[in-house]
Amino acid sequence: MAALLEMRGMVKVYGTLRANDGIDLDLFAGEILGLLGENGSGKSTLMKVLFGMVKADGGGIVFRGRELSGHHPGEAMALGIAMIHQHFMLVEAMTVLENIMLGWPQAGRLLKRQMIAEKIRDTSRRLGLDLDPDARVADLSLGKRQRVEILKAVLRDAELLILDEPTSNLAPAEIHDLLVILKRLRSEGKGIIFITHKMPEVIDVCDKVVVLRAGKVSGKAVVAQTDRAQLAEMMVGRDVTTPYAIKSPEKGPVRLAVHQLAAKGIGPLDFDVKGGEILAIAGVDGNGQLELAETLAGLRRADDGQISLDGHDITDTTPSSRTRNGLAYMPADRAMTALVKSMTIMENLMLRDVARPPYSAYGLLNRGPARKRAEALMQQFDIRAPSPLTRAGSLSGGNQQKIVIARELARQPAVLIAHQPTWGLDPGATRFVLERILALRDAGSAVIYISCELEEVLAIGDRVAVLAGGRLAGVVQREAVDMPQIGLWMSERAA
């Protein structure tokens, strides 16, 4: 049987960087290929080349027996390639049906509205998408919006679906549903390329994997013949599955105290975190996680109650005043809210220090010291880019995240609020970040760690709580954690 897709010797060069350096890849119909690799190893670049968003500098692509070169996304789509983007290209104010019709050449002429609505219902039922053609996209969860994109691809007869980190901002139940949908697509004979950093997902759905490192293929495997540790090792070159060395240090005085805090979607909440302590908050995203993080950071107004930082009431202070007083915040959606893509890595790293000597003079960035510091942080946090003057937006997803993490951790904040800080990071970088957060705690900071990944919460939390339906359930010492109880709390009030 001929392959659905063959990529041979793919090369893509940015300046002196070989983002793709001679990559071969084959995919057959009815197969799910996991494309793995460290942050910046070239996965997204290879897929953009395949979809025609980026021009290759070398190599050849054959899809369904046809040579593809110099193509545009429109031509790729017409030939049966679909890319499900992470930030969906849907019009929120329109319905599912209207979004499906949008930009579809046949729609409206050959295919009438009624017929399309019928097709949507049929396909949705067949694949288990649970989509109503008349639902407004604005009212749909992220997982459902992603399914609209999948539906769009299937209705336009895509034979190959590319999904670049499709699970990284989904709740666990939605991840599970997506994986089921991918298996159904496979059984209908579609070819799928699936990018993820999460080994359990790979083991669940992928038939085979290709691992990239520094733009080259560093390993290939049939999933049934390998295991999680081996896969991680192929990616990172070392074993990252050993447990974290946790020794709880002496706890200091209370650094963050929250009393009867209420804001839209949360509360009333009562808790405190001491210096030298990590309070890990588990729970399904969408249960007040964002509201809690933003209220603590000062980006949302508290309707009631009190927040104090090192004994000072900060309830009504601005985000920048909180920052000056030692509060650091890593938002989950870093790429959108914490990073200025059009600025350089250096400028992004120095965002918090622009008004502080020696990095600023007369309100301007003092380039010499700033550059030295940026270089040091890039090295320390393994931010892979040609130079501190590279535009942040041209970095790989994971490397963009590392900029924000480096900036916030390097300040040695009194209190760190981290919301899904490892989202989009490869296993090596994830380990590194968690170890840095532990080191920050050991140095006396208080940390609030909000994550929907139970594994992480249990790995680093000194105390563990669950946020469900905007309220906190059971703040317990890690040693006392009872898994079934945690699961129950998580599902109790979960939306």
Q: Which residues bind ligand ATP (CB under 6 A)?
A: 14, 17, 19, 37, 39-45, 384-385, 394-399, 426
| 167 or 396: CB nearest Mg ion | 396
Site string for Mg ion, 159-198 (x = CB under 5 A): ----------------------------------------
Q: Measured between alpha carbons, how far is 449 from 23 in angstroms, rounded to an integer?
A: 38
Instruction: State how far the Cα of 229 lies from the Cα of 33, in Å rounded to an integer.
Output: 19
Q: Distance between CA atoms of 23 and 7, rounded to whole angstroms?
A: 7
> In this chain, which of 40, 215, 267, 397 binds Mg ion, going by CB under 5 A?
397
Residues comprising the chain, all counted: 495
DSSP per-residue codes, 104-172 = -TTBTTTB-HHHHHHHHHHHHHHHT----TTSBGGGS-HHHHHHHHHHHHHHTT-SEEEEESTTTTS-H
Q: Look at residue 430 and give the partner it binds from Mg ion, ligand ATP, none, a contact being a CB closer than 5 to 8 Å depending on partner kind.
A: none
Select from ligand ATP, Mg ion, none the partner in contact with residue 42, using the beta carbon and a kind-dependent cut-off of 5 to 8 Å: ligand ATP
Which of these, 216, 193, 191, 221, lies nearest to 10 by C-alpha position? 216
Per-position b or e across 235-246, b if 16+ CB within 10 A of its CB: bbeeebeeeeee
Three-class SS state of 18? strand
218 or 248: CB nearest Mg ion: 218
Residue (402 or 407) nearer to ligand ATP, CB: 402
19 binds, among ligand ATP, Mg ion, none (CB under 5 to 8 A by kind): ligand ATP
> Which run of H or E residues covers position 413?
none
Which single residue brings its beta carbon nearest to Mg ion? Answer: 44
**13 or 142: CB nearest ligand ATP:** 13
What single-letter amino acid sits at 208?
Answer: K
Sheet holding 58-63, edge to edge: 17-27, 5-14, 58-63, 66-68
Which residue, 124 or 168, is less far from ligand ATP as judged by CB?
168
Nearer to ligand ATP, 397 or 444 (CB): 397
Q: What does 384 bind: ligand ATP, Mg ion, none (CB cut-off 5 to 8 Å by kind)?
A: ligand ATP
Residue 104 binding result from ligand ATP, Mg ion, none, given CB thresholds of 5 to 8 Å by partner type: none
For the window 248-277, what string marks contact with Mg ion as x by the rule CB under 5 A?
Answer: ------------------------------
Is residue 451 within 8 A of residue 290, CB to CB? The reply is: no
Which member of 44, 99, 348, 399 binds Mg ion (CB under 5 A)? 44
Q: Pick from Mg ion, ligand ATP, none: which does 467 bind, CB < 5 to 8 A by kind?
A: none
Give the one entry of Mg ion, ligand ATP, none that residue 461 binds, where binding means its C-beta sits below a cut-off of 5 to 8 angstroms depending on kind. none
Residue 173 CB, nearest approach to ligand ATP (Å): 24
d(CA 125, CA 137): 18
Which spans of this chain sit near Mg ion (rule: CB under 5 A)? 44, 396-397
